[in-house]
Chains A and B, each alone.
Chain A
Amino acid sequence: MNCAVLQFPGSNCDQDAVKAVASTLSLKADLVWHETVDLSAYDLIIVPGGFSYGDYLRAGAIARFSKAMHATVAAAERGAYVLGICNGFQILTEAGLLPGALRRNDHRQFRCDMVELEVVNGATNFTRAYEKSRVTIPIAHGEGNYYVDDEMLKRLEENQQIVFRYASEQSPNGSVANIAGVINERGNVLGMMPHPERAVSERLGSTDGISLFRSILTSWRDGHAS
């Protein structure tokens, strides 16, 4: 499985993502600059956290039009896995690869914390290795307040596209239905505000991100078993 981690001006979780892939899957992920036009060699594309293009205009709004994101949309269409984390999630919604939008946190504070998540759908390409339904993964964002209208929320629920919810009754950002991560209908694009790449070692305070990366590799291998 060939992995790419996109790198925009302002990305700051790109190296964490590369290291997480190395430590959880023993694979080398390539850092790919935002001007790259061809991602056809990659099976997994990670759109990392940070502040792409300074979050000018809106978080993710400008990154969406980068050459690498055009290539990512094409990759998603041919079935490659795409994982958007934090700013990456914002970019994927702006690009239309995932429904909804991320608004400023309802309490207006930047929130940096370990949070408990409910794995709502443990049968996706990104979650099938999870053996428990509650996991602890850190968040760090000021604009993680997920929004969809009622009609789209109903569709997400019916299609089991809600993958993670914040487990506490009090959402850390005000997201509709406590949503922390959603997947596309086809099941190959996941966006989430929490940072699984920062939860891959006891030294980081949690190892609950490991199963996410392992799920991707297992799913990919199953899809390519001859």
Chain B
Amino acid sequence: MASIRVTLKESVLDPQGSAVVHALHSLSFSSVSDVRIGKYMEVAFQAQDEQAARTQVSRMCEQLLTNPVIETYSFTLAEVRE
């Protein structure tokens, strides 16, 4: 199982995050300086070993799950035995 986090690149404005910053400020969380909102995905799949799993997830992210022009990703793997 891969747990994948997709976020906008640091250089790309995140309007959803900005809206949430304002909302948190209005709730008196005045110490909040930034919020970035991304996507979380869980992908269940099969792989021979960890290295093969990493390669597969990276390819999934680069081909479909992210838009490399504006987004970046990170992921963790967990072994799930049936």
Which residues of A are at the interface with B, using a C-beta cutoff of 8 A?
A: 57-58, 61-62, 65, 93-94, 100-101, 103-108, 147-149, 174
Contacts and interface: CB of A to CB of B under 8 A. Distances in A.
B13 interface: yes
Given A100-B69, A101-B70, A147-B69, A108 B15 contact: yes
A57 B65 CA distance: 7
B78 interface: no
Interface in B9-50: 11-13, 15-16, 19
A125 B15 CA distance: 35
A103 B65 CA distance: 15
Q: Which 9 A-B pairs have the closest CB atoms?
A: A101-B69, A101-B70, A108-B15, A106-B15, A101-B67, A104-B15, A108-B19, A147-B70, A58-B67
Contacts of B11: 149
Contacts of B19: 108
Interface in B30-82: 64-65, 67, 69-70
Nearest to A152: B69
B15 A107 contact: yes
Interface of B: 8, 11-13, 15-16, 19, 64-65, 67, 69-70
Nearest to A99: B69
Given A94-B67, A104-B15, A107-B15, 13 more contacts: A57-B65, A61-B67, A62-B64, A100-B69, A103-B8, A104-B16, A108-B15, A108-B16, A108-B19, A147-B69, A147-B70, A148-B69, A174-B15
A147 B11 CA distance: 11
Given A101-B69, A101-B70, A147-B69, A57 B15 contact: no
